[in-house]
Structure 1
Amino acid sequence: MQAIRIKSPSSDTGQQTGQGTEKDLLPLLAGAAVAVGGVGAVLALIDLSSPLRGPFTLFFLLAAPGAAIGAALRTLTPWGRAVASVSGAMAVNLLVAQGMLALHVWSVRGGVVAVAVLSSLILLLTAGQRLRHRAAKRWTS
């Protein structure tokens, strides 16, 4: 049986020197990005005329596939993963737009839904692959 140890904040040297605050801000920034992207998608889907609809929807269209592709490429270096995820997000958006235009079914709502579905599919495939990898590790060890 393992004992669970909890460090007290006074024993953490990073907190005393002010170096641990970047790690504390990352989950907060990630949550804010998810909220902004979600609001952008909702504003585009309900067609609400708001000055925030354009920037928030654009953020969603770039961040959703970018985050999904970035999650799939965890083995790359952070800089390489950032470049690949931004490029992949732009490619997904361009392919969705081109496909919808070729099929004569272009609409803003449809584009947002298609990008959301593709991003979710990439995330689900990545999560499934990780679960299979963990299960295979458990069976071999």
Structure 2
Amino acid sequence: MQTIGTKSSSSDPPEPAADDRLRQARAPQRDLLPLLAGTATTIAGVGAVLALADIDSPLRAPFTLFFLLAAPTAAVALALRNLEPVGRVLASLSAAVAVILLVAQGMIAVHRWSVPGGIAAVAALSSLILLLVLVRRLRGRTVRRRVS
């Protein structure tokens, strides 16, 4: 018995290889992390705006609390990128709680406590930590380029 092979026309797309099919199956998982990061950023930003603008909403307290925890946590997590994931999460959450407590204690000590002031101070400290991390990374890249 003889089998007759048929040639596919040049207009037919080639069959995807096994690696391509595996990569396509993992594509939704890769797209989930940026989606979650964008959602978290949006929630934190809305919480900060609701608190700073003094808007009465049932979402104000949870979103503001999320902002107060997420902003320093993200900044410290970027600074600790060489740690294992579980250690980085625990250390950055601990650092976020420490930043919040230090801001609150400092504002109470100088008799300048206010909710908008506390949110602004936490945002400023988180931005400062993030800025220092980015400057350190850029400086490291410049030094590596000169050496290479």
TM-score (norm 1): 0.89
Aligned residue for 1:19, secondary structure, equals helix
| Residue identity matched to 1:104 | H
Within 5 Å, which residues of 2 pair with 1:46-125? 46-125=53-132
Percent identical among aligned pairs is 62
Distance 1:14 1:45 in 2: 47
Number of aligned positions between the proteins: 131
Query: Unaligned stretches of 5+ in structure 2?
Result: 1-15
| Residue identity matched to 2:131 | L
| Residue identity matched to 2:22 | G
| Residue identity matched to 1:72 | A
| Residue identity matched to 1:109 | P
Match of 2:44? 37
Q: What's the Cα RMSD here?
A: 1.1
1:21 Cα shift?
Answer: 2.2
Give the 4+ runs in structure 1 shifted more than 6 A. Answer: none
| Residue identity matched to 2:145 | R
Over alpha carbons, which structure has the higher Rg?
A: 2
Distance 2:105 2:117 in 1: 13
TM-score (norm 2): 0.85
